[in-house]
Amino acid sequence: MSNQTTKQYASIFEMDGFPKFSDALPLALQHVVAMIVGCITPAIIVANVAKLSDPDRVLMVQAALVVAALSTLLQLFGIGTKTFRIGAKLPVIMGISFAYVPTMQDIAGTSGVASILGAQIVGGVVAILVGLFVKKIQKLFPPLVTGTVVFTIGLSLYSVAVNYMAGGLGKDDYGSVKNWGVAIFTLIIVIILNNFATGILKLASILVAMICGYILALVLGMVSFSSVASAGIFSLPQVFHFGVNFDPAACIAIGLLFAINSIQAIGDLSATTSGAMDRLPTGDELRSGIIGYGISNIIGAALGGLPTATFSQNVGIVTTTKVINRAVLGLAGIIILIAGLIPKFSALLTTIPVCVLGGATISVFASIAMTGVKLIFTEKMDFRNTSIVGLSVALGVGISQAQGALAAFPKEFTTIFGKSPVVVATIMAVLLNVVLPKDKTDLKK
């Protein structure tokens, strides 16, 4: 009898190779659970604002999952040579980003989804340019500036969550006791799990709370399964189904956000490598990662998927568990891809009542805002820096909330600067940071 060699499996704590499937699967599912709600919610919000039909709502959620999966696999394994590669080849998970939601809501309500996707293609080109010149551009976006932008994004999403908790603007039952009851019940579950649970329950607090809220809404007769019944079992995303329109104002607004998020990706990639691998990412990894981010968003726009970004919650999992094996995260990407190819699953996700979404995601939006605060306070809060943060947020939020304040300006100008607070806050923070003189003690550093 010949000797049989024992198959050697890779460790889950090393980047390359294939670990045992029994070890990889639960770790991959952990990543899927952590990201899936955050991935589909922007698609559902935009679909609601654009008043898409049920089949198109399903397609948008389906595209969100497929694009997130493809973007993740590109970042994990990359394409090309070491000289020029697309994708960072680092253990990160990509998903549809909340950062674009405030601006996308305005574009969807005025110009339609096609203008979002056209602007996304332009944004992808912007990201590629940032990747090519990342070292020169990075100095324009220190933590003070990026923190101000992230804080403003969080603030601007609060009204979205509250309107959803009330049942959704324009709905007949908007503000009803039933909507608020389900929303608050869902939020209470999130708070309890985040503060008292451990392990997978804490990690999946948003998902578990949504399931609990969904069950309560189901009992109260608030769920309709008509879209699930009419959805197919398997289908591929439809290329350019929503069309593409290059609206100049939308392109400027979204393009600016892509520049910001490209720089923000440096933070997530750095957090991944420093937290789990005890090193900073190389210049090649940063360049390849940001270029991959741009290219995947161009492809994603063609498939009907909204803008993506690295998911910080999954970065947190990697840095906490130290599991950096790319096959594990790749398995998560494949699971997300399969889910996106099953329209009935995507249709089921669109049946979640908006009050449940609001109750579950308001804590996410609060977390986004506080992440911005943490970034801001990594720098000294002297008069200069507090002026930059305060004025940027005040003008951004103030102009967007003062309806009609820019009524005398051209429509395109209002679209760029008057609707989303993020654009004005970003421009102000960058300009003030460049113009205002630094403290002499800081200049000596």
- pLDDT of 410 reads 86
Residue 137 scores a pLDDT above 70: yes
Residue 1 scores a pLDDT above 70: no
- Tell me, yes or no, whether 106 lies in a domain: yes
Each residue's pLDDT tens digit, 209-231: 999 999 999 999 999 898 898 88
Mean pLDDT for 185-191 is 95
Residue 240 scores a pLDDT above 60: yes
- Looking at the structure of the chain, the number of domains it has is 1
Query: Domain residues for 214?
Result: 21-369
- Tell me, yes or no, whether 361 lies in a domain: yes
Could you tell me if 274 and 101 are in contact, meaning their C-beta atoms sit under 8 angstroms apart? no
- Tell me, yes or no, whether 32 lies in a domain: yes
- Which is nearest to 319 in space by CA: 376, 285, 283, 270? 270
Residue 138 scores a pLDDT above 80: no
- pLDDT of 445 reads 52
Each residue's pLDDT tens digit, 16-56: 999 999 889 988 998 998 888 889 999 999 999 999 999 99
- Tell me, yes or no, whether 3 lies in a domain: no
No. of helices (H) and no. of strands (E), the chain: 20, 4
- Tell me, yes or no, whether 422 lies in a domain: no
- Tell me, yes or no, whether 215 lies in a domain: yes
Name residue, tokens 């799990």: 193
79-80 vs 85-86, strand pairing mode: antiparallel
Residue 2 scores a pLDDT above 60: no
What confidence tier does 442 reach under pLDDT thresholds 50, 70, 90? Answer: low
Mean pLDDT for 256-268 is 86
- Tell me, yes or no, whether 434 lies in a domain: no
What confidence tier does 264 reach under pLDDT thresholds 50, 70, 90? Answer: confident
Residue 91 scores a pLDDT above 90: yes
Torsion angle of the four alpha carbons 385, 386, 388, 394, in this order, in degrees rounded to the nearest 10: 170
What confidence tier does 202 reach under pLDDT thresholds 50, 70, 90? Answer: confident
- Tell me, yes or no, whether 420 lies in a domain: no
- pLDDT of 441 reads 61
The count of other CB atoms within 10 Å of the CB of residue 204 is 21
The whole-model pTM stands at 0.83
User: CA-based diameter of the chain, in Å?
Assistant: 89
